[in-house]
Structures are given as structure tokens and as C-alpha cells.
Structure 1
Amino acid sequence: MFHDFINLLYPTVCHICEAELLKNEELICTSCLHDLPVTSYHLDNENPVKKVFYGRLKIEKATALLHFRKKAGVQHLIHDLKYRGHREIGTYLGKWLGTELSNSDWNTKIDVIIPVPLHKSRLKERGYNQVEDFGKEIAASLNAEYIDDILLKISSTQTQTLKDRLSRWGKLEETLQIQNSDKIVRKHILLVDDLVTTGATLEACAHKLYEVPDIKISIATMAITD
């Protein structure tokens, strides 16, 4: 048991292929790292992430670090992060994307990082919000403030079908609440999540945030589904 605990804190095998890591490798072996499908969407403001929200939501910028494909490396990473307690993956991906953003024109535009929230029951079950460490690392890279007490999820929702997500973002918005809104007035907010598919959850969160006057919203996620 102690050995498993040490491996959780200091993984010695690749999170994707489970090959033993070399001394200069962190979490992911060099081979798997080179195979990860990086998007570089932060360099193109008219990218597929932003296009998800065309005609639905006003956003300044949008990006995702990786392409999500089933039964591939990115799915393994996000699964380990969300369901196996490997929070270091969120830190790793946050540092990676944060570095990319800090070396681009995103660097001077973001004031506040806000995570898509978890309901307290899900937070208690999992023990952490899977995008917390991701958001904190991006905030550190952009010299922005990470704030997780603005947008709250006040009721739990079940996983919805694709059709539901496209047509029922308003009901998702009803599960959300804003507090401490004075912290973000006239701020440019970066809303972060693990995965964008239909964009329904991010859309609902953004619409709720837009109840606060004079704000701008951008979006960044770990991955986008193809």
C-alpha cells in the first residue's frame, strides 16, 4: 500500500503506455509525448474550439491543448486525472498550456481564471475538482488570479445525451449560481475545463458569468473531441 502511495505522488511509469520513465521524463515517456495530438489552437483565434460557440456565445479567445480521441493517449490521461486520483496530470497539462499561452498574445489579456465548478456532492466523492490544478498553473503562467468561489454549482445534473446538451443549456444554467461578483467586474475571465465536446456546459457557465457587468470571457480546455 505504501508503495502504491509513493507511486501516486511520484509516478515511475508513463501514464499512457506504462513504460518505466527515464530520469529526464515526467509523467509521460518521450515516445508517448511525441504522439500526443497537440492543437496549437492558441495561435489561431478562429479555431475549432471558438467555432463551437459561433452564434451561441460571445467569447474573446478559445483554445484546447490536445485533441481527444477515444482509446488513445489523451483519453487515458483525462481518465486517470478524473477517476484515479492523479492530480499531477492537471498540473502537468496546466504548466504546458500555461507556457504556450504566456509566449503568445494571450499573455497580457487574462485577469482571472475560473474553473467550471463541481457540485459539492461530486466534489466530496472525487475529493477535488479535476480542473483546479490545471487552472492554477495557467494562472501562474499568465500572472492572473485563480478564483473558485465566484461560479458555484448548486444542484447536481445527470450526464445528458448529445441532443440534450445541444438543446438544454438553459437548464444547465439553472444549476449555477454567482457569488462575490465584485471580484470580477470589468475583468477578462478565462473559463477552464477538462474537455469541450458540444460546449453546453461551458456555454451555461459563461452565460451565468455574463450576469456580471463589463466582463470578457475566453475559454481554455485540456482537450477537444474530434
Structure 2
Amino acid sequence: MFHDLLNLFYPKICNCCETELVSHEKIVCTTCLHQLPLTNFHLDNENTTKKVFSGRLSIENATSLLYFKKKGMVQNLIHNLKYRGNREIGTYLGQWLGEELAKTRNYTQIEVVIPVPLHRKKLKSRGFNQVEDFGKEIANCLNAQYIDDVLVKRSATTTQTLKKRLSRWGSIDETFFVENQDKVVNKQLLLVDDLITTGATMEACVSKLQKINGVKISLASMAITD
């Protein structure tokens, strides 16, 4: 009764279109759920996400759950996660992708899931890393460990979205560092992030992680720019 009363005064709304959710709906309404632009990249090991890093990185596999378009429903999802603190979105997307990856041979050997880290100042101001719950759910689905103290970010950088890849590389490469590497020596890692645009952030992270002895690295994100 209390839950019904709470919904009466504070109704849950769809994180894509902002219509009110009905009792059986969660995070997104049924209409938006069927319209979300799925990539299905996990079914194709030569997919767009992997091609973004072709010739730049040596990675095992790469995938993204959704296509991202400006002013689209996926942008609304990620905005509500990052800036409105709706952490349930990260859990929802992580469980969704994690269950798909668990059916795919290329990802069943993953032993450790690592998030792209935030600088401590941004972490303090936001209160959480937007990929934390996403990564934890994927790790749970793959029976892997979630470890967030191996890859760290020590320099605060301004938003990178408007910068070209080559100009970004110099500033991003020196912001990430590896600690506690003994936790992942000779492990198969899955690096996770929210959105892949140029790929410069993940490229910088992978370049650091690949210095650890014996690691094999795959990538996964909530979305990739279309």
C-alpha cells in the first residue's frame, strides 16, 4: 500500500520518453524498450566497436549494447544515469548486456571486469562512477571479479567530446595509471565504459593495462556513437 501511495505522488517515469511507467515496467516503457537501437555486436567479433580500435590496439573482443545518437533515447538514458543519479540504469544495462555475453563463447573466459575510472574530484562531486553498477552486473553474469583499484585516474581533465582524437591522446594518455597489478597478472580482463565516441579514453586505458604481464583485454560499453 505504501509503495502504491508513493508512486501516486512520485510516479516512476520512462528514462527515455518520460511517460509514466506502469506496474510491470522498469527503467524504460515497453514502447521505448522495443525501439532501443541494439547493436548485437557480441554476435560478430568483427563488429564496429572492435573496428574503432583496429590498428590502434591489440584486443580480444569488443562490444557495445546500444547505438548512441544525439538527442535520442540512449542519450536520455545515459544522461539520467550520469547527471540525475539514476543508478538503476547502470544495473539494468549491465544485467542486459551481461546475460547476452554469458551466452557468447568469446566472453565466457573473462576473469576480471575493470571500469574506466573517474578522477577522485569528479567521483566525489558525482557520488559514484556511472559504470560501476554496469560493470558489477556484467561481472556477476560472467562469474568474474569486479576490481576497481587496478586502473586509476590521477589527473582531472575537461570534457573530451569536442576534441579530435589525436589532440585528445596527449592529454588522456598521462591521466591513467596502474596500481595493484598483481591482482590481474595473467588474467583475461573486460574493460567497461559508458560511451565510446572516438575511443581515445579506452585506448589510453588499454595502453596502461597491457603493460601488466600476461593480460588479455576485451572491451564493452553501454553505447557507441552511431
Does 2:197 correspond to 1:197?
yes
Q: 1:217 offset after TM fit, Å?
A: 0.5
CA distance in 1: counterparts of 2:161 and 2:88, whole angstroms: 30
| Post-superposition offset of 1:105 | 1.2
Q: How does 1:145-160 map to 2 (within 5 A)?
A: 145-160=145-160
Q: Tell me whether 1:177 sits opposite 2:177 in the alignment.
A: yes
CA deviation profile, 1:101-129 (whole Å, cap 9, x unmatched): 11111342201000000000000010000
Aligned to 1:26: 26
Q: Deviations over 1:185-214 (max 9, x none)?
A: 000110000000100000000001111111
TM-superposed CA distance for 1:16, in Å, is 1.4
> Given the superposition, is the C-alpha separation of residues 11 and 65 from structure 1 closer, same or farther in structure 2, using an over 3 Å criterion?
farther
Q: Partner amino acid for 1:224?
A: I
**Equivalence for 1:97:** 97
- Partner AA of 1:104 in structure 2: T
Cα 1:53/1:224, change in 2 over 3 Å: same
How far the C-alpha of 1:44 sits from its partner, in A, is 0.2
Q: Give the superposition deviation at 1:74.
A: 0.3
Distance 1:210-1:11 versus aligned 2 partners, 3 A rule: farther
- Which aligned pairs between 1:18-97 and structure 2 lie closer than 5 A? 18-97=18-97
Q: Deviations over 1:43-63 (max 9, x none)?
A: 000000000001100110000
**1:133 aligned to 2:139?**
no
Q: Which sections of structure 2, spanning at least 5 residues, go unmatched?
A: none
- In structure 1, the residue matched to 2:143 is 143
Distance in structure 1 (CA, Å) of the matches to 2:170 and 2:105: 33
2:220 paired residue number: 220
Report what 1:120 is aligned to.
Answer: 120
Match for 2:185: what amino acid? Answer: V
- Partner amino acid for 2:218? S
1:106 aligns with 2:96: no
8 Å Cα contact 1:49/1:64 also seen in 2: yes
Q: Which moved more, 1:15-24 or 1:125-134?
A: 15-24
Amino acid at match of 2:186: R
| TM-score normalised over the length of structure 1 | 0.93
Q: Which runs of 4+ in 1 moved over 6 A?
A: none
1:70 and 1:197 map into 2 onto residues whose CA distance is 12
Instruction: Please give the secondary structure, in 2, of the residue aligned with 1:195.
Output: strand
Name the CA shift for 1:44/1:151 in 2 (closer, same or farther; >3 Å). Answer: same
Residue pair 1:166, 1:198 contacting (<8 A) in 2 also: no
Give TM-score, length-normalised by structure 2.
0.93
Q: Is residue 190–residue 218 contact of structure 1 (8 Å, CA) maintained in 2? A: yes
Q: Kindly tell me: are residues 122 and 11 of structure 1, through their superposed partners in 2, closer, same or farther at Cα, counting changes over 3 Å?
A: farther
